[in-house]
Amino acid sequence: MSNHDSTPKFPDSFLGNNSLDYDSSIWMERNQKKTTLLCLQYLYDERLDNLEKPDFLKDEPFFIVDLGCGTGFSTEILVERGFRVVGIDVLHDMLSKVKTKKNHMNNQNNLELILADINYIPLRSSSINHAISISAYNFITHRAESIRNKTNIAHNTAKYLYILLKPNGRIVIEFYPKDEKELNSFISSFKDNGFDGFMVKKDPNQKSGQTFLLLKKR
Ligand SMILES: C[S@@+](CC[C@H](N)C(=O)[O-])C[C@H]1O[C@@H](n2cnc3c(N)ncnc32)[C@H](O)[C@@H]1O
């Protein structure tokens, strides 16, 4: 067996019994669900251009990937709204909570859960309409030791997301960048790999506060 532990180091609050505390925090649930609803609005933001909201009764199934779905606060909202959802998370402790919730969902056939890294999502090319990511995307470079390595991971992930998305595909990412360098690195990873879009900051004066990237496939 290899000594190399490929699991990134995450905040303790995602691991073991702490993931139960994360999942049972009413504050966290309220906050993450509110953010998910805002991300859904941003997905169809007119400033990206006029893309009609899907009519789930008429249109083909609409696939949305929840990148870093955690214990499923964002996933639950997406399923309730009628999307076909693929929840991706790299930590079993977090993903197992969504699996339990799935058993109680009305539309449980509309949800697939995959234990995987955002950097290597095991889905077919051009198979998804949209992706969202709530408070998770900044962890994609968690394991990188050098700035160069971080930049490469960000670029490869954006390139891969581009391939997975169907034409007109969109991504909304909500995250808390560590600093301006990290923010700029994520922005250019998308710009250089086929995306247009813009950024919304909850507090424009704060460099590292809550940030939304609204992206569409060029
Ligand atoms: C703060 S939680 C947010 C979970 C969920 N989106 C929510 O709103 O409650 C961040 C999640 O991202 C997951 N995550 C971090 N890096 C990841 C990666 N590279 N691939 C997949 N999941 C990742 C963590 O395991 C954790 O469950």
What's the rounded Cα separation, in Å, for the pair 162 and 88? 17
Please name the amino acid found at residue 70.
Answer: G
- 3-state helix, strand and coil shares in percent for the chain, rounded to the nearest 5: 40, 20, 35
Q: Can you give the pLDDT of all 218 residues of the chain as single tens digits?
A: 333 444 446 677 677 777 888 888 899 999 999 999 999 999 999 888 877 777 766 777 889 999 999 999 999 999 999 999 999 999 999 999 999 999 999 989 999 999 999 998 999 999 999 999 999 999 998 878 888 999 999 999 999 999 999 998 999 999 999 888 999 999 999 999 999 999 999 887 877 789 999 999 99
Give the domain range for residue 175: 12-217
Residue 74 has phi, psi (to 5 degrees) of -70, -40
SS3 state at 138? helix
The number of angstroms, rounded, from the C-alpha of 214 to the middle of its chain's C-alpha atoms is 12
Phi and psi, residue 198, nearest 5° = -155, 175
Whether 19 maps to a domain, the answer reads yes
**Which residue is listed with tokens 């996933």?**
75
Measured in Å, residue 206 CA sits from the centre of ligand 1 at 23
Question: In terms of DSSP H, where are the helices of the chain?
Answer: 18-24, 26-43, 73-80, 92-102, 147-164, 180-191
Q: For ligand 1, say whether the CB of 110 is within 6 Å of any of its atoms.
A: no
Q: Is residue 5 part of a domain?
A: no
> Is there a domain that residue 185 lies in?
yes
Residue 192 placed within a domain: yes
What is d(CA 27, CA 18) in angstroms, rounded to the nearest whole number?
15
Please check whether residue 154 is in contact with residue 91, taking contact to mean a CB–CB distance below 8 angstroms: no
Q: Which residues contact 96 (CB under 8 A, 6 or more apart)?
A: none
pLDDT of residue 164: 97
Q: Which residue's CA is the closest to the ligand 1 atom numbered 4?
A: 70
CB-ligand 1 contact for 86 (6 Å cutoff): no
- For residue 90, the SS3 value is coil
CA of 70 to the centre of ligand 1 (A): 5
Q: Which of 22, 67, 86, 139 has most ligand 1 atoms within 8 Å of CB, for mutation? A: 139
**Would you state the pLDDT for residue 202?**
83
pTM of the shown model? 0.91
Query: Which domain CATH number covers 203?
Result: 3.40.50.150
Instruction: Output the pLDDT for position 40.
Output: 95
Residue 71 lies in a domain: yes
> Number of structural domains, the chain?
1
What's residue 17's pLDDT? Answer: 74
7 domain residue, yes or no: no
Predicted local confidence at residue 137, as pLDDT? 95
* Domain contains 1: no
Cβ of 190 below 6 Å from ligand 1: no
Judge if the beta carbon of residue 131 lies within 6 A of ligand 1. Answer: no
Please check whether residue 78 is in contact with residue 85, taking contact to mean a CB–CB distance below 8 angstroms.
Answer: yes
Residue 69 Cα to ligand 1 midpoint, Å, equals 6
pLDDT value, residue 9: 61
Please say whether the dihedral angle defined by the alpha carbons of residues 91, 93, 97 and 103, taken in this order, is positive or negative. Answer: positive
Kindly give the number of the ligand 1 atom that is closest to the alpha carbon of 134: 6
